[in-house]
Structures are given as structure tokens and as C-alpha cells.
Structure 1
Amino acid sequence: MSPLFELKTVDVCYGHTRALVACDLRIRAGERVALVGSNGSGKSTLLRTLHGLLPPNRGTVACGVNMRQAMVFQRPYMLRASAQSNVALGLWLKGMVWKEARAAALQALARVGLAGVAQRNAKALSSGQQQRLALARAWALQPQVLLLDEPTASLDPAAKREVEGLMAEFAEAGMTLIFSSHNLGQVKRLASRVIYLEQGRLLADLPAHEFFNGPLPPEAELFVKGELA
């Protein structure tokens, strides 16, 4: 099976800083890939590169033909409009007529348990509700691949469980997940594959069971133990 993404010797730079260094990576349909590493290791940069938001300074990024993908950011932007309109607008921009977009938006909100707040201003929702709203916006587009940047970092435990549950349901329905996380418990629960990054370099790429139970590069082992400086 052809990979959904294939990166070959990819460098991404911010000025003189190399955020990704000679990155080689393949991701196939149906995988649940967790990106882990300390702050500044390159996780967010890799997600943005996969989503086409950051072009590589060197190397190549190839993705599947006509592949549908969506991304949820750590702090998703909310329009000063109802939750329903926040979802409907993305569908309308994709070419759906407004009446149908609003109906589809209600279905998406129901899918993430937010039907009861459809008419509330999105900016007035709690952080957990806003994150679920961002998931509804993404799910409404029916992506094959969902990229998530620290999707539960700022949420309370109950909201984290809700978002994790939705991610697991999306994966079970066949969606490919690629997400960054500092929460290793979350990685154990959700990931089938773990990628460890350090200073922009991909140092480990293993099935989740092997990552948590097998030998690792020294930096990755220190990170898992919580001892990385």
C-alpha cells in the first residue's frame, strides 16, 4: 500500500534555526501516530509540514492523491459566531450551500456531544467545549487524516477524557491520526506507533508497545523516565 505521507531528507528552518533536520518518514492509512519529545523538539513543525502549512527548505514531502485531511491546533481559533456557524462556515467554503452546511454542522456538533450549545457564541464556550468544537469542524469535512497538535494540553481531566474518547472513535472508524502529546499515558492509550523527536531529528520510530517496553536511544529513554533536561 502506498504511504499517505512520505518525507525524504526534509529540513524546515525558521531563519537560521533548523526545526526539522534530514527527516525521513512514511505514514500509512489507518495508523495512529504519536509525536513525542520535549518543547522545541520539532513536533508542531512536523505536523504543520505534513499539513502543507510549512514548505520544506530541503527535501521532499509527498502525500496521497486527492487525500482529505484536517488539523486541530492546541488553541483552536474560534470565530465570534455560534458554534453551529463555526462548523458550517468551513463546509460552505468547501462549496456546500449554506442551508445544507448548517444542517451538516448540527450533525457534527451532535457527533461530539455539543448539540445543546449549537446557538451559543463559540468564544463563550469552555476550553473543553472549544476543543470538541474544533474536532466537530474537522470531522464535518470527513477527512481521511486528522492531525492534532497537543489536543488536550490545556484541558481538565474530564475534558481530556472526552477528547481522547472522540479521537479513539475516529480512529476506530478508519481515520488516520497523527498527534503530538506530552502525556505519555495518552500516547499509550491511543497510539499504535510512536515517533520521538529531539532538536528536530527523528531519533526513534517504533510500534507503541516496543517504544514503552523495549530499548530506546538514550535521549528517548530519559524522556520516557521524565529525566530529560
Structure 2
Amino acid sequence: MAVRASRPDGTATRALLLETAGQVFAERGYADATSKEICERAGTPMASVNYHFGSREGLYEEVLIEAHRQIVSVEELEEMTRAIGDPREKLRALLQHLLAPSSREGSPWGFRVVLREVMSPGPLAPALVEKAVRPKAKLLLGLIAQILGLPPDHPAVQRGLVFSVLPCIVMLVAPKEIPSKVLPAMAADSGAVFEDLMRYVFAGLEALGKAHKPPKRKAAA
């Protein structure tokens, strides 16, 4: 459904609706959040959602993209790695940023919206993948390809990306009670956990690179 272009004087209202909707979707999830509640909490007319976003679905799509951007944007990924030459150090910086508490504290609703979507994907998950996830994955695939010495489209590069990022996602979404009550050593020293994670990731990537390294061609007689 096409989204109507908002007037310049409606920019503030659009931003207010997006912020309010993010809070409501984070609290209630996509299925239970209504345009009525969003407009009431934002103090805007009932028609505001349709006017600025086309529909509740259009608003939720924008919320998903903004939530992903709050956690880490493509621009942030590029900026963090621009001054770093070594691809291994680039990957280290990116994963450290992803796991940093500030990445969640700075996004009061973004992390919760993404977490809800990961745990229970909604009908707009494809839009999130295309507009938010895929551009970041492309950047990270290029980084993993450099580390492995393989083309970006090589299956081992894609696997390497999953094996590197998935532990971080698990650590982000795991209930806080697990580290404190079940795995107290993890809760005691987060810095040591990250260093061991990097040892684990880089050792695995090194093994992948060796296993999938193209064989050397024999010199012609």
C-alpha cells in the first residue's frame, strides 16, 4: 500500500507517532497494539497513522526499521570500521559494539521490538530483512570474506557470519537469570567473556578458512 507523503509541517507529528508506536509495539507486540492506542498516547487525531504511514502495517514496518537502526545502523557499522585496517579488528569492534550494554540502553524500545520480532516473526518480517538486515549482512559478509580469504558468496563465508554473530544474539536475548543463577562465571566478568568469545570466533574462522582454502594449482611441467 502506498504511503502518503506528509507535509513539511507534519514532520514532527510523524516523528512523534513513530516514537510512540515504538513504545506501544515494544510493550504489546504487533498483534495487540492498535492505531487507536498509539494516537491517543501521542495526542494526535485518529487519522494520523493512515495519513503519515498509510496503515498500521506501514507504521509497524517503519518501527521495525527504526528499531534495528537504534541497535546499530549501517552508517555506524561503516564508521566504526573505517579507521581500522585489519578485518579481524573490524569484526572485533563490531561484535563488541553489538554486545555493549550501551547499545541497548540507548534504544529504550528498539531492542525490545526486535527481540519480539525475532521470537515471533510477524507478517512484515520480510520488509525488515530487505531494508534493515540485508545491508548489514552484506557489509559483514565482506568482512568475513576478507578474514577467510574466500569470495563473499562462498558458502563458508555465510556460515562464518552465522557462527560469529549467532552467539552474540543468544547472549543478547537470553534471560538475565541464566548468567546470574545458572552460569555465575559469565555474570562475574563480562570482559573475560567477550575475550573468550573472540578467541572462539577467530579460531573457528581460521579453521573454516583452512578447510575451504582453494587447492594450489600445480605448476605446468
TM-score range with shorter-chain normalisation?
A: under 0.3
Q: Which structure has the bigger radius of gyration?
A: 2
The TM-score, its normalising length taken from structure 1, stands at 0.26
Q: Give the structure with the higher percent strand.
A: 1
Higher normalized contact order (CA 8 Å, seq sep 6+, divided by chain length): 1
Q: Give the structure with the higher percent helix.
A: 2
The TM-score, its normalising length taken from structure 2, stands at 0.27
